[in-house]
Structure 1
Amino acid sequence: MPPNMKSHDFSLFSELYTCYYQVVARILSEAARHPLTRRQMENLARQHGYDESALSIVPRLIQGDWPFFSQDGHPPDTYASVLKNDPFPQPLTGLQKSWLKALAADARFRLFFTDSQLKELEEALWDTPPLYRTTDFSLFDQYGDHDPFSSAMYREHMLVILNAICERHFLSVGYLSRKKKILTHTWLPCRLEYGQRDGKFRLYAMAFGKTGRKRMDVLNVARILSIQKTGRYYPALVDVDHFLDRSLCEKPLVLEVTTKRNALERAMLHFACYQKKVERQEDGKTYRCTIYYDKRWETELLVQVLSFGPVVKVLGPKPFLDRIRERVGNQALPMGRKGDSYYDKSDLF
């Protein structure tokens, strides 16, 4: 480790083993084998982090803010690791174990693991207190009719779906439609998505018409009545985004995200399920985030944007901005009484 390490700002590493920590470790491991160009560093950052990781991490590495690299004695425009040893092993800290214990108590967490896997985790964390309990939180602005995550049938269906997505095999599904009709059809599960506001898992599944035409259907996992494997497999990966592009809004949502309160990293995590493009602004203090979304999920996206408060600013489009103003205005109305001079709705915008 370089002797001048303590003189630099390592605020990004205040949390052990975060995503950025892992990205830097990946870059250092690759640089230990051969010097890297800036472009190669950026590709590794995007591959193992978020879209904006290259913007946040690579400049600090090559400019020496984090003194892990050197250009001395190497080809031009390349950087080699100055570390003499590989990144150290990463055992779990007590805080991480406590966090895992809390996650394991969430019914949604248990949907993604088998009984034997959950038993193994419980045995490994038997003497670890949970970091928090679900009763410690009071959630608002969400629907109450979320999916029955604790249902044995629901969990069984989820495990079958997860396996089908990984193995690319077709499923025969009995499904209760919105019109209360029972449909039986064969689908190829492609992607699962969780709606935070309504507390429901949505399944993107490809169906084939009689003419062979493909379409992407969206199923509510809780409406699945029966599910079984067909023994048929699909030979290639399905480009789900190609199908979803057809239903995206013509005008994407454009946000300005500040660097305060770790807003950019939070935004990328929050909006991970959306197609997006992130650009660093010239002032170096803000980022322009363009989000392409399905009109069907606009209300959910609106609620997510509002949850960020003043660290995110909506630049457009105008219809979305008008909905934001209406929503904020309705929330603020109870704060002022008729005749109060200190409250004016126009002051909000």
Structure 2
Amino acid sequence: MIFSELYGAYYNAVANIIKEALDHPVKSADIRRIVEKHAYLESALNIEPALLEEKWQLLKKDGTTIIENDPTMPLTIIQKRFLKAISEDKRIKLFADEVIDYDAEPLFTEDDYIVFDKYLDGDDFEDENYIKNFRTILDAIHNQYLIEINTINRKGNPLKQIMVPKYLEFSEKDDKFRVYGNGRRGRVVANVGKIISCKKYDGEYEVTDKEIVNDKSEVIFELEDKRKALDRVLLHFAHFEKEVEKIDTDKYRVKIVYNTEDETEMVIRILSYGPMIKVVEPARFVFLIKERLIRQRNLMKK
């Protein structure tokens, strides 16, 4: 992987461990603290024994390092090509008119891959009005002021919503952005693609100050670590709250916490790993997996 062993999360974590070891001997607690800050908590499962058992010959037995200077992190050509590809994503322009020119050929383009299990009516990220509305929402999130959003509801009638936006959420399955905020009666949600106009609201308006809390669900599955499946799963679900427990040689138990409204997307994500993952809890999620597999099998018979 482009950003794993070479200048990725592991590298940053180990680089900071080395920096600390240059100042004073590090212990197990120091390593776990640094890993939790610069990588993922479960990364300690790999990093700590690799350093302390000298599989990675970077630390001495006394916790000092054989390295003499602080590690540096220049970009490699392959990283520049990857970042060039990311910078050409249509969604990048939602955040800035100008992007960094990495002076390299993109590693891939959107024509190089096909995405399955994804709706085709995603947001038009290049539409000027969409970009304008998106940036207004983003600025309101950063500066916490009221905005007025005008949309058309399902019946074709105009709808005005006033809120203090709290965050934006992107759905890979729907290929759409949603904005969540606080309104007069509680949480307000709007699809950015359906917004006709969005502007700062200067009038008097009381909104609830209750914290927005999404309904949460969790899924527990067992994973067989073949072909680096554990690394791939941890990277895939990096932005989710999770727990990882080793239950046998090359076998792990993983718990993922996700927003309940994104359950279909979670089913699709887990199914993409095939037989390497077995969902064990809850029974409702196991049923959803079986139901989707049956539907796919029936479609293949047609």
- Please report how far the alpha carbon of residue 320 of structure 1 lies from its aligned counterpart in structure 2 after TM superposition: 1.1
Q: Who is 2:65 aligned against?
A: 81
Q: CA deviation at 1:325?
A: 1.3
Note the C-alpha offset of 1:306: 0.6
Distance apart, 1:14 and its partner CA = 7.0
Q: 1:61 to 1:223 in 2, by over 3 A?
A: same
Match of 1:228 in 2: 199
Letter in 2 for 1:43: R
Deviations 1:218-269 (A, max 9, x none): 321112222223479xxxxx996x712xx224xx210122332332333233
CA distance in 2 between partners of 1:227 and 1:61 (Å): 53
| Conserved 8 A contact 1:193-1:273 | no
Match of 2:231 in 1: 265
The aligned residue for residue 145 of structure 2 is: 169
- 1:301-333 Cα offsets, whole Å, 9 max, x none, are 111111111222211211211121121123234
Instruction: Give the distance between the partners of 1:106 and 1:301, measured in 2 at CA.
Output: 23
Alignment correspondent of 2:250: 285
- The 1:30/1:217 distance shift into structure 2, 3 A limit, reads farther
- 1:255 partner amino acid: F
Gaps of 5+ in 1: 1-10, 73-78, 210-214, 233-237, 338-349
TM-score, normalized by length of structure 2?
0.86
In 2, Cα distance between the equivalents of 1:64 and 1:270?
29
1:253 alignment partner, one of 219, 240, 244: 219
Please give the alpha-carbon distance, in whole angstroms, between the structure 1 residues aligned to 2:26 and 2:146. Answer: 43
Q: CA contact under 8 A between 1:41 and 1:58: conserved in structure 2?
A: yes
Distance in 2 (CA, whole Å) between partners of 1:308 and 1:175 is 39
Counterparts of 2:151 and 2:20, CA distance in 1: 48
Letter aligned with residue 174 of structure 1: N
Corresponding residue for residue 59 of structure 1: 49
Structure 2 counterpart SS, 1:279: strand
Q: Give, as a single letter, the amino acid of the residue that structure 2 aligns with 1:84.
A: E
Query: Can you list the C-alpha shifts for 1:17-66, whole angstroms capped at 9, x where unaligned?
Result: 12211221122223322333322321221222124212221221222211
Runs of 4+ residues deviating >6 angstroms = 11-14
Q: One-letter code of the match for 1:63? A: E
Structure 2: which amino acid aligns with 1:281?
K
Out of 82, 107, 123, the residue aligned to residue 90 of structure 2 is 107
CA contact (8 A) 1:55 1:280 kept: no
Q: What's the C-alpha RMSD, in Å, of the aligned pairs?
A: 2.8
State the distance in 2 between where 1:176 and 1:15 align: 49
Match of 1:34 in 2: 24
Structure-1 residue corresponding to 2:81: 98
| Contact 2:2-2:79 at 8 Å conserved across structures | no
> Matched residues in 1 for 2:227 and 2:210: separation?
35
Q: Which amino acid counterpart does residue 67 of structure 2 have in structure 1? A: L
For structure 2, the residue ranges without an aligned partner over 5 or more in a row are: 204-208
Aligned mates of 1:290, 1:169 — CA distance in 2? 37
CA contact (8 A) 1:99 1:132 kept: yes
Say if 1:231 and 1:148 are closer, same or farther in 2 by CA, change over 3 A.
same
Report the Cα distance in structure 1 between the residues aligned to 2:20 and 2:142, rounded to whole angstroms: 28
